[in-house]
Amino acid sequence: MATQSTQPLGPRYGLGRTAPPPPQQSQSHFQAPQQPSFPGPKPAQRLDADRLDSTRRARDEALRMESALAELSEEQREEIGEAFNLFDLDKDGYIDYHELKVAMKALGFDLPKQEILAVLNQHGTASPSQPQPQSSQANQNPKQQRAQQSRRLLSFPTFQTLMAQRIVSRDPQEEIQRAFDLFDEGGKGKITLQDLTRVARELGEGLSHDELVAMIEEFDMDGDNAISREEFVGICLG
């Protein structure tokens, strides 16, 4: 009878062996890839671009103003100067909000209050007697800001260039209609001998009564001893 082996079974079949240590996990954690970022322009570059753009706009505006002044006739230049001098009451070379409004109206530009304030805000200067520091403007409410703008002043050179731009860009038909309204006192729809006499006196024209009558007779096409709006337009357009 065969003798049973006394050799232990464990080592032969792997029983009782010490299990190999589990593989060590990496200490680093998985991180999702970040989205690529595209750096924007540097602050200095943005400031330079804004500065260049502002300079270009200012240059273009100056060129437009010079061009408008060059297109004015001598009579138009005198008209602008007379309107400014008439309403520059203290003769200091500046006009304020109220003076600007009536001066522009005299030239045929009857602007609402907000547009007058916008002109002063963009092109005017602070009154020397009431300086307005920039630091205080941010804390003002809209009503205070409008009051501050109305105290700003416009110099004659600025007034001249702004009016030149408006006159040059004005429709010739509007210019003729405005001139007719200046003659036609009371809105009658026609220019009478009395109207011609009044305007000639205001302009200092030394025209005699007979000369004024001759002007009416020359251009009065319907024989009513007056010049209608249509007849006046025909005179101006030649």
CATH topology of domain 60-128+141-168: Recoverin; domain 1 (1.10.238)
CATH homologous superfamily of domain 172-237?
A: EF-hand (1.10.238.10)
- What is the pLDDT confidence band of residue 35, given thresholds at 50, 70 and 90? low
Tokens of 157: 């050179």
Q: How does pLDDT run across 11-33, given as a tens digit for each residue?
A: 444 444 555 555 555 554 555 55
Residue 108 has pLDDT above 90, yes or no: no
Nearest CA among 221, 150, 163 for reference residue 190: 221
pTM for this one?
0.50
103 touches 194 (CB < 8 A)? no
Tokens of 56: 């270009």
- Please name the residues in contact with 119: beta carbons below 8 A apart, sequence gap of 6 or more: 100, 111, 154, 162
CATH 1.10.238.10 in the chain, residue ranges: 60-128+141-168, 172-237
Look at 97 and 238; give whichever has higher pLDDT.
Answer: 97
Cα 190 to Cα 167: distance, rounded to the nearest angstrom = 25
